[in-house]
Amino acid sequence: MALFTPTYFSPIAQYISIVNSNSITFEVEENYQKQSYRNRCYIFGANGKQLLNIPISHTNKTSDKLKMRDVLIENSSWQRQHYKSLTTAYNHSPFFEFYKDDLQFIFTKKYKYLLDVNIDSFQFINNALDLSKKYSISKIYNENPINDFRYLAAVKNDDQTKYISYIQMFEDKNGFLKNLSILDLLFMEGPNSINFLKKL
């Protein structure tokens, strides 16, 4: 069993580990941590690395003991803003047109919990790349699992992954940006993204 924190359109490093794992469990009993990939992802915009952040509701804030499964989101305008940002950044990419209709589902569905957004984003990538990965949800907090990939949810983790570069939309003026959201790879490489992930 490989243990992952459910994140929002996860960074490529997380999908490298997902692709190479036979059994996936999403950790939902851990305490929510701010400034992580749990509620954010990074894409390649015209001006470089661009943050897409899901606003978290503070109505259920109980110090630092809020579990990941209980995190509520603010259903304001984030979905419209995120989809607009993705369209602006990737509308002319090779594969955005191919995936945008299925992607819109996530940006039109009414959500209450962050976990549901993250699971839906995983399911979207799971289907888009034909990964056929089944997953389970944790029932108890596992402090020391054998295959622990929860650290990949931290934005500031010491990422030692050796990346293979691929063509990115704005790399001519910004250079190659590593470990962006899996969406960046998907929109540029399409079905070939799975081969890229398996090489790493």
Task: List, in order, residues 6 or more apart from 116 with CB less than 8 Å away.
Answer: none
Cα 31 from Cα 100, distance rounded (Å): 33
Query: Can you list the residues of the chain whose pLDDT is less than 70?
Result: 59-64, 158, 200
Give the per-residue pLDDT at 42: 98
Give the per-residue pLDDT at 61: 56
Please state whether beta strands 40-45 and 24-26 pair in parallel, antiparallel, or not at all (unpaired): unpaired
Give the per-residue pLDDT at 125: 98
∠ CA 130-43-76, rounded to 5°: 95
Give the per-residue pLDDT at 161: 74
Give the per-residue pLDDT at 62: 52
Residue-range domain boundaries for the chain: 2-199
Whole-structure pTM value = 0.94
